Amino acid sequence: MNVVGQLAPLAFGLAAIGSGIGVGIIVGKTIESVARQPELQGRLQALMFLGIALTEALAFIAIAVAFIPFPAP
């Protein structure tokens, strides 16, 4: 049996699992911290966006993989 199609969407799906969990943890922890110490909100928000930016990178690289013109085998 032959399976025909693209692997790129699958790659994105797998990468999105990881960064989804990661972003969830970051945002959740930030909310917890702000609830404990509301006066640190500005600083925590900056750290949160920085963390999200780094974590998301994997998912965005995975989307971009579909558009890299790999030579056919």
**Applying CB under 8 A, which of residues 1, 67, 70, 72 lies at the interface with other proteins?**
67
**Applying CB under 8 A, which of residues 7, 21, 31, 57 lies at the interface with other proteins?**
57
Residue with the two structure tokens 């998912």: 59
Q: Taking Cα atoms as reference points, which of 60, 56, 63 lies closest to residue 26?
A: 56
What is the three-class DSSP state of 46?
helix
**Applying CB under 8 A, which of residues 56, 68, 69, 72 lies at the interface with other proteins?**
56
> Does the protein bind other proteins through residue 60 (CB under 8 A)?
yes
Residue 59 class from Cβ within 10 Å (0-12 exposed, 13-18 middle, 19+ buried)?
buried
Residue with the two structure tokens 């790129």: 8
> Does the protein bind other proteins through residue 11 (CB under 8 A)?
no
The footprint of other proteins (CB under 8 A) covers 42, 46, 49-50, 53-54, 56-57, 60-61, 63-64, 67
